[in-house]
Structure 1
Amino acid sequence: MRAMAYETYGGTEVLRETRLPLPKVAPGEVLVKVRCAGVNPVDWKIMAGGLDSLMDVVHPVVPSWDVSGTVERLGIDVPEFAVGDEVMAYARKDYVHGGTCAEYVSVPVRALAAKPASLNWAQAAGLPLAGLTAYQLLTRLGTTADDTVLVHGAAGGVGSLGVQLARAQGARVIGTASPRNHDRLRGFGCEPVTYGDGLTERVRALAPDGVTVVADFVGGVLDTTLAVLAEGGRHASIADHTVLGAGGQWMWVRPDSEDLSTLGRLADQGRLTVDVAAMFPLSELAAAFTLSQEGHASGKIVIEV
């Protein structure tokens, strides 16, 4: 099969288009024919060796964990799916090796869900990791309609989904973003504020009694979080482990078929959409990673396989 892969840690220069054998399909797995793969910052951070202390890596590595596609073949004991089913997944396994920037990928059933009919292939590939990250963080914080939620990084791939999910739960949402993204956030039912100097005062102007939930999707904002958090409020971060020393939670997204199915249902109910900022062919994965590294994409970056 055709794939993008790398043999050593490094920058985008280590990526090569190559041919690899079809993945083996273990019991409890399916082989997915890839339509699109989603790009996330963790993909190029792994490539640079940033997670070497956390996860075993087997080279050559095919990057990325997000996928949309069709079931090509079933492993042993997979009654949940049939050949030809349209699916999506956050296809992370217990070690780094066979990712989704390839024509085929094997996916554990525990990570797989039906593709929402309301999303196209690119949107479905952009949903799993970012959507699960936002959903699991907000769920763990017990977010309800009684909450006022502050989302740091509200215009990003994870943040924009977090805004929509908090609104779907009935919460009031304030989101930090650059002014060019404020109209987009208002369309999601969010009250946007500009990040940077004076952020605490701007949030307090909207929520004088403080916010009850803070979802940090960018890092480096703990001081602001604590300054605007109401007494008894809850906060969590996906990007700053120091929140653990300040009564917060530090989270890492987990593959979860049930959670992903919930996101799919919300999409089909018209309560969740995925903005795709850019699409690249498989051979231009390096350019997609470069765009992700620049950190200015307003939405998801997707590879079309």
Structure 2
Amino acid sequence: MLRSAATRQDDETFLPKGIHRSRRLPDEQLGALWDSIVLDEKLKIQLLSQAALNFTLRGKVERTVLPLHGVILLVGPPGTGKTSLARGLAHRVAKLFPAGGFKLLEVEPHTLTSSAHGKTQRAVSELFSQSIAETASGGPTIVLLDEVETLAADRTKLSLEANPVDVHRATDAVLVQLDTLAERHPNLLFVATSNFPQAVDSAFTSRCDLVLQIPLPDRDACARILADCLAGLARTYPAVGGLVSSPDFARCAAECVGLDGRAIRKMVANALAASPQVAMDPGTVSSSDLLAAAKAAKANRAIGSAKA
């Protein structure tokens, strides 16, 4: 029986515990995510090259020569596009190996935690040793570990009185499984993300083949994100496209410095709600609406930072 395109692309009918999504690669939707993340091209090339090396080298060179674990960690402030970048990376890597038969597994770490004694450790061990290992046995596999500090918490900062011993054991289980999988499955790559790298156990970080800092966008990047957002809106509201050539555009982009990419796009949405009139006809949004929204977003970010 022929399966629908959606079924062929996403294998989500019977997902094991801890797996949020299983997706066949390449996937052009994920490629669009890669393109949407405004980041220094050198960083993108470094990331893609490290991921590609995982699949060309690890099966041919002894780990005593190069102790690669097949783990990449993306760290940086929330909203900088780490998760989207990881998903897009999976697509781009698969495109480099046309006959590879790649799959992407997305782990949902919060479904693995339990207050019951021993259950978190068992759930983590089963996820890695069974679900992930079985997929890797069937072909090249990329695993997204979002918010990895949930699974690999820094044990030196945990109190055994305040934190259940399972939190410690879960981190132990992750480390043991990473070592085992690195030995048995050179066609497996983990891409982890964290907003709080200081909360990630140092033993996990030491196993990473690359730790890449995803920074907040600089002025040029802010301008590119803002222009891309306005261009997208212009497909529905053509008049919005003219704002990119407005004298206030550069001022607005400069005002966005300090915001993450997600916040910049939300700021544009706030500008579209500048008044009931604009909200009813978004194509009438003005450059002054954008500038005011950017200043408000920047002020709110400053207040949030001060509270932190």
Greater radius of gyration (CA): 2
| TM norm structure 1 | 0.29
More helix by share: 2
TM-score, structure 2 normalization? 0.28
